[in-house]
Amino acid sequence: MKRKPMIAGNWKMHMTTKEARELVSGLLQEIGDVDTTAVDILVAPPYTALSAVKETLSGSPVLLAGQNMHWEEKGAFTGEISPLMLKEVGCTHVIIGHSERRQLFGETNETVNQKLKSAFSHGLAPILCVGESLEQREAGRTTSVIEEELEKGLNGLTTEQVQSMILAYEPIWAIGTGKTASPEQAEEVHAFIRKWLISKHGEAAAEKIRVLYGGSVKPENIEGLMAKENIDGGLVGGASLKADSFAQIVKRGS
């Protein structure tokens, strides 16, 4: 049984409010003929553009996510954003533990775990990112790194929570580099993740969880990736910044 695919666009630190409106309007036109009962489409704009994007999306099934959040509802955390704030502007999802957050902003598996718990308690569906660096891959540590990210990241979560979340496998060496993992390389890790989920949460729950692939996803490579049994969609960075390429990925990936 294949799960309903999800194509998610992570805009990172791109798009002013004006540019965001234009991108989303273009995207809605391009995906006008897509059967959205067969694919979930999601965008994660920067915080300042969330309201404008929500407004532009009005009435469309495209889902809205934050790119990160703090686990507290409010407080003296300069520069942070809270789950309540994301909910208020219409987010249903939130990306947690993206490798750029981990590598550049000091996020750990422990803070990721706090964020996941907070997302669940506020009714936001998390998209948890995991993935190894080139150095870790070359040292043969890919699965042990991912296992640790899963063990610590999902620590204390119930099966009910885990089965409602989305995972994203994003090999760090493939992000923004133009070097995609081959469908076989990606599937190997996706299958490992599925096996881990089965061992911790049982087959029924594990079979429901979508595991997206991220790292230089493009219109040209999405079909090969989606053909693999355990790849349930894409988390797209660079190619989500143009309406036509993101729409092509949605169409070819569903």
Catalytic residue list contains 98 = yes
Of 81-89, 132-140, 185-193, 209-217: span binding ligand PGA (CB under 6 A): 209-217
Q: Which residue has the tokens 């979560």?
A: 157
Of 45-53, 76-84, 186-194, 234-242: span binding ligand PGA (CB under 6 A): 234-242
In this structure, what token pair is assigned to residue 115? 């964020």
User: Is residue 213 classed as helix, strand or coil in its secondary structure?
Assistant: strand
Catalytic residue list contains 170 = yes
User: Among residues 40 and 170, whose Cβ is nearest to ligand PGA?
Assistant: 170
Shortest Cβ 204–ligand PGA spacing (Å): 29
- The DSSP code sequence of 43-72 is EE--GGGHHHHHHHHTTS--EEEES---SS
In this structure, what token pair is assigned to residue 219? 């219109």
d(CA 42, CA 72): 24
Check the CA dihedral 249-251-92-50 and report its sign: positive
214 binds ligand PGA (CB under 6 A): yes
- Alpha-carbon dihedral of residues 136, 140, 142, 143, nearest 10 degrees? -150
215 binds ligand PGA (CB under 6 A): yes
235 binds ligand PGA (CB under 6 A): yes
- Nearest Cα to 126, choosing from 229, 42, 246, 215? 42
Question: Contact with ligand PGA (CB under 6 A): which of 39, 238, 243, 246?
Answer: 238
Please report, for residues 37, 107, 160, 232, 236, the alpha-carbon distance to residue 209 in angstroms, rounded to integers and kept in the order given: 17, 24, 11, 9, 18
Q: 2-24 as b/e, with b when 16 or more CB fall inside 10 Å?
A: ebebbbbbbbbebbeeeebbebb
Shortest Cβ 159–ligand PGA spacing (Å): 27
Per-residue mark of binding to ligand PGA, 137-176 (x: CB under 6 A):
---------------------------------x----xx
At position 120, the amino acid (one-letter code) is F
236 binds ligand PGA (CB under 6 A): yes
Question: Contact with ligand PGA (CB under 6 A): which of 10, 111, 136, 230?
Answer: 10
Shortest Cβ 129–ligand PGA spacing (Å): 7
66 binds ligand PGA (CB under 6 A): no
Of 33-41, 187-195, 200-208, 213-221: span binding ligand PGA (CB under 6 A): 213-221
216 binds ligand PGA (CB under 6 A): yes
Shortest Cβ 49–ligand PGA spacing (Å): 17
Shortest Cβ 80–ligand PGA spacing (Å): 21
The residues binding ligand PGA (CB under 6 A) are: 10, 170, 175-176, 214-217, 235-239
Catalytic residues: 98, 170
